[in-house]
Every structure is written in C-alpha cells, then in structure tokens.
Amino acid sequence: MHLNRHGRYDYSPIHQRPRFQWPGGKKLAFYVALNVENFSFGEGLGHTPTALGPTPDTRNFGWRDYGVRVGIWRIFDMMDLLGLPMSHLINASVCETMPQIAERIRQRGDEVIGHGYTNSERQSDMDEPTEAAMIRHATETLAHHCGQRPYGWMGPWIAETLHTPDILKEAGYTFVMDWPADDQPFWMRTRSGPILSVPYPIEINDSPTMLSRHQPATDFYQMIVDQFEEMITLSEQQSLVFGVSLHTFVAGQPFRLRQIRSALTYVLNHPRFSDVWVTTPGAIASYAITLPEGTIP
C-alpha cells in the first residue's frame, strides 16, 4: 500500500531535540482553553449529550445554548476566583449576537483564538475560496468586537482542508492548533512560509471525555491531575506544554464545574507549581518563535 504524506512537517523524536526553558526558567507551560461556540437552529452540526431528537431538536439546541447563557458566566467567575487567564477559541458569530461575552473577554484581558464563524459547519466541507472568505470574515469580526485580532487558529471540530495551513499563513496567522501531534510546538510548512503548531489537548478535553466516551466528571478530574503529575515529572527532561480544554456547555454544568475547579486547585497548590509557566497558546507561540533556529523542530 502506498502511504500518502502530508508534507507539512518532518518526523522528530522528542528525546533527540535540543533542550530549552520557558520564560523565567520554567519547565511546564500551562494554559486553559475555553471553546465558545454558536450553533444554527434546526440545521447543521452540533454537540449532543444524548440521542438526537427530531428537527429542530430543541432539546440538544437548548443544552448547547445553556453554555453561553449560563455556563460561560460560571466559568468566568471560577477563573477569576482562581486568578487564571484563559484563551478563548471562539466562533466569530458569538460576538455578533452575544456582545456581553466579548465584553467580559476584553475586561479580563484574555486571549482570542480564531475558531471559525459557527460550529454548525466544518472547514473540511468548503472549497478553498469559501474557506479563505470564512477565515477572513471570522478574523475581522473577532478583531472588531474583541479589540484584538487573533493570530492563532483552531478550526471548528478541529477540521482542516488540504489548504488550511496555507490560507491561515496568508491571512496573517502565526500559529495553528489543529494538529495534536506533540507536547512541544513544532514548525509546519506552508506554500508561503512556516507556521507554528501549538499543542492542543484532544485527550484532556471535556467534550470527547464526557460526551464521546461517556466518562463521568470525576474521571476528568483524575485525568487532569494525572496528566499534570506525569508532565511535571517529564518536564525535568524537556520543557513541555500542558493544556486543558473546556467547552461552555460541558464544563459549565454545575456538577462538572465542581470537579474542574478541584482539579485546577490541585494544580495551583502543587509543591512544584513554581516550575509552571501559567500562560496562553499565543504567548507560547511568541516565545517559541524567539528561540534559536533548530530548537523548535
């Protein structure tokens, strides 16, 4: 069988890479990403905690809407209490219909990551001109409402076309989060020059854990704790990235929020927390770009 190659990056065994440290001599970069998503009523794609209902499926639409009406505000308050920044992977349409969310992001000084226009569609279903137009529109909308243009991108449903990295580079993006292939940033090739891949967690992610695999919230607590314990140990050998991914309609449910708060408190109170750089994907990318050539694979 002939194996297709993407040609975006080369194979690089992590144990053979040059060592580096994060700012301040830190060993483990830690961030929390919040997916803030908006859905079309009665059509298109959508997350579901239970069986699909008949169109327009008000049960599942209403559950998703709970995330932006209720869940996100409880997550904001929790992160304020913990003193943690967030990076928001946000559908641009959220800003148009829910300006209070964009205002809270501005007040907190949080980072904004491009995440399409709506999660009712996937880039992988678009031709190149349509995808480029969507990325341009989403970028302009986020810049207008959030007071900052995004330089990082993760597609809705973590989906790409064969041209996505090229389009993003040409639209001024410096990093992408669609490739969960590493615990360190790495360079990817595009037709217009390199773009950085910043690690994004597909495992330490509330949606696949609790919606796809139907694991309880207590499992997610233990996953965060175990991931941190192992990565803080591994970071003695190499500086790594530890991300936690949340969704407003999953993490924002009270019984899950309680477990997530406990897990984040565990991390913050850990004896080795002084080795942790609390940061955002954008700051990780900005720092990685400054490292000597050859440090980042």
- Mean pLDDT of the region 5-32: 97
With both helix axes pointing from N to C terminus, report the angle between 99-108 and 128-146 in degrees, rounded to the nearest 10.
60
Query: What was the pLDDT predicted at 52?
Result: 86
Q: For the segment 179-229, what is each residue's pLDDT rounded down to a tens digit?
A: 999 999 999 999 999 999 999 999 999 999 999 999 999 999 999 999 999
Torsion sign across C-alpha atoms 153, 232, 77, 68? positive
Q: For the segment 272-282, what is each residue's pLDDT rounded down to a tens digit?
A: 999 999 999 99
Q: What is the pTM of this model?
A: 0.97
Q: For the segment 99-133, what is each residue's pLDDT rounded down to a tens digit?
A: 999 999 999 999 999 999 999 999 999 999 999 99
Query: What was the pLDDT predicted at 174?
Result: 98
- Mean pLDDT of the region 140-152: 97
- Residues 251 and 244: their CA atoms lie apart, in Å, by 11
Give the chain's mean pLDDT: 97
Query: What was the pLDDT predicted at 16?
Result: 96
Contact between 117 and 91 under an 8 Å Cβ cutoff? The reply is yes
Query: What was the pLDDT predicted at 50?
Result: 84
Query: What was the pLDDT predicted at 208?
Result: 96
Task: Centre a 10 Å sphere on the Cβ of residue 168 and count the other Cβ atoms it contains.
Answer: 28
- Mean pLDDT of the region 145-161: 97
Determine the topology of domain 26-43+52-290 in CATH: TIM Barrel (3.20.20)
Q: Where are the domains of the chain?
A: 26-43+52-290
Q: For the segment 66-81, what is each residue's pLDDT rounded down to a tens digit?
A: 999 999 999 999 999 9
Query: What was the pLDDT predicted at 53?
Result: 87
Contact between 276 and 269 under an 8 Å Cβ cutoff? The reply is no
